[in-house]
Structure 1
């Protein structure tokens, strides 16, 4: 652990955090959320998904969100796409500078999520990565259901390694392993990452964990110890998967930041500004969010707070 000095956190609340919320969030409020994330230090944000608005009404204003994004040369704005049509929409905004593509580890989930087989999702991912390169921008890929499928159950690690190896040929900047339904555990996480690093030692690995069964933060730590360089997280822990029973959302950005910073691993994020963003977002959504930091507060307390205890 002494060799790990920093970890990148990708803020996914504007997309994965919001997309399954029944309460519609306006374009203005989505842009405020993005601005608050930037103010807290985020430099890589998944701002929208370019999908059929009938399937995901929350993302119907993807182009409007992109039109309002702050001009900032330090920022990487990610647009999630599932197919060529989505990629074309994202590219047409002129504001997305990284495409995120998704391949799914099982056929049943791939058909439910994207209307294609698992192998089909790999081929589409490779084609979109190549398209991004031809347009002068980067692309990355996520393997959904890397740790388990809501329809088929256990997912063989060899299958995930096979998919990662195939997508790697297209030249993504990284590949993410997603615990889409929150069934992963630290031992499984470490084992899968080690298997991938044995085959592709130069591949940057990102991880995406949902805290459905309370293992999200532990999985983040296991992933980093195994060599993952980047972690997806959502302010407040907002989010979830429509296919996951009892989904509790993504790991919270402020919880991940607290854990890493207390361990001496830099994230570039300001915990107080993240907590302020959490408070604002909880008010907007009219409900408490899942973040434990929002409930417990930061540590150590300020000198003024300590005085108040006595």
Structure 2
């Protein structure tokens, strides 16, 4: 009985649809076809247009501007709502401050050897300070610094050795700087919460007569929530770009910034030949959605002839 009822309903719908379609066809074909209007004779040198051209409707400029502003406002509102929702789901930190403080470049004695360093350590070459707040008192997670780098080092044979010129280079490719994370702390509650770290890159000068180095870094501030649907996932909060470069050479010990006994009969000295201010960093870190490069590691690079 149920099958018969559904079949009857389907047949009624089908006949009704066909009847309506037949009615439309009958109506549209019952009228006489309109006689095309004669094409006017164009003036001398004119162009024949076989059909009328409808007038083009113009929209006032203020209406176009209003439409653009409404669309932009909707996009901004949706972005803000998405940001607020994700921030509460992930306990995403709000960045309050992210700054860097730099020292200077020098050739100095470190552990009995001469080094070309960025920073006297103390103070370090560059120090990073960041402050954030969390959206809820129940939030907790890890606040991290992660750094990647593009590096290039060159050393040329010195007085003691006769080796060929050697290089360590990432060839323009970004690589993880040593460890992941570079530094981290665990925080709980709304905050504010402060995190700080530093970097003092440098290299030993012996046994080189000439040494050159240029590093470009990106220090990322990252967040990993403890709980919620995104627990354990890393989010980038901000990034601060910085670089340094230095050239140094071996000279007579009397005129050197640093001297080192390299053999019982030979004492070498080195001096900085580039400016002590050959370094730069952004004044403040900037919010970003980009993530740091975590593989490969710069420690996998070795000296090679170049």
Bigger Cα Rg: 2
Higher strand share: 2
Normalising by structure 1, we get a TM-score of 0.23
